[in-house]
Amino acid sequence: MSSVWSVRNFFRTFSFSVPLALVFFDNIGYVARVEGISMQPTLNPDNRFDELTKSNSSLDIKCLLEDFLNSSDLILLSHWATRNYQIQRGDIVSLVSPKNPKQIIIKRIIALEGDTIVSRGNLRYQTIKIPKGHCWIEGDNSSKSLDSNIFGPVAVGLITAQAKYVIWPPKRWKSLSLKLPTDRTFSPISTSIYNGSYSAGRSMLIELNEE
């Protein structure tokens, strides 16, 4: 009898916890592993997986796996933080890649709608005004990043979550603060939040602002 009740209780708990977990993941947040080096040094600063695999094809698979697990950051992503697309310049966000809808990428928001920015990628030195409902995203490791400098402004509707904390490896536990790269600082600095309506803070990226 006890075994029957155990099975019954298991399925009762399972049927309750799974929908609750799904609601949490869909609306609150989840943990994800960061791959690649486009957000270095903020994320994956010690990641040498690509470098090792290219430099020595005979490396032991176990060593490669250990290096990958120990140098790849696990981050907490918050859906709640980006509800109604309340995003700010400097936020690190995950979003659906405009180049591949099946891929989720992670980048930093550099500019919001109404801002004017100078591109430094394929569109090098072009002055671009961010259209309504869009933002400009870049990787912190700009020379190794596929971002708005390649494909232009992206729709804010592609944003899925905001990266809040690094939770693994333990030595790198930290909160991911809102900041802009020093070479992407706006003048005058505006902290206006885009909330689905036109941003009042128009800024032009002109030079490093020391104020």
Tell me if residue 143 is catalytic. no
Instruction: Quickly count: other Cβ atoms within 10 Å of residue 141's Cβ.
Output: 17
Choose the most confident range, by mean pLDDT, from 16-30, 86-100, 170-184: 86-100
Residue 61 inside a domain? The answer is yes
For residues 103-112, give the mean pLDDT: 94
Secondary structure (H, E, C), 72-93: CCEEEEECHHHHHHCECCCCEE
Residue 60 lies in a domain: yes
pLDDT tens sequence across 48-83: 545 544 545 444 555 545 555 566 889 999 988 777
Q: Which of 3, 78, 97, 107 is catalytic?
A: 107
Confidence of residue 188 (pLDDT cuts 50, 70, 90): very low
| 132 in active site | no
Task: Identify the pLDDT of residue 172.
Answer: 84
Q: Check: pTM over 0.85? Answer yes or no.
A: no
Residue 104 lies in a domain: yes
Let me know if residue 37 belongs to a domain. yes
Helix/strand/coil for 139: coil
Q: Which domain holds residue 177?
A: 29-184
Residues 151, 64: contact at Cβ < 8 Å? no
Establish if 62 belongs to a structural domain.
yes
Q: Which residue has the tokens 């690509």?
A: 50
Q: Check pLDDT > 50 for residue 211.
A: no
Residue 180 is encoded by which pair of tokens?
A: 């802009």
What percent of the chain is modeled with pLDDT above 90? 30
Rounded to 5°, angle at Cα 194 from 28 and 147: 80
Backbone angles phi, psi at 118, to 5 degrees: -100, 120
Catalytic residue among 38, 94, 199, 203: 38
In a domain, 165, yes or no: yes
In the chain, the number of structural domains is 1
Contact 113/194 with Cβ under 8 angstroms?
Answer: yes
Q: What is the CATH number of the domain that holds 68?
A: 2.10.109.10
Cα–Cα dist 14/7, whole Å: 10
Asked if residue 139 belongs to a domain, the reply is yes
Going by pLDDT thresholds of 50, 70 and 90, the confidence category of residue 25 is very low
Residue 70 resides in a domain: yes
pLDDT, mean of residues 96-108: 95
pLDDT score, position 61: 55
At residue 199, the pLDDT reads 38
Section 138-156 average pLDDT: 92
Looking at every residue in the chain, the average pLDDT score rounds to 72
Give the integer Cα–Cα distance in Å for 25 and 22: 5
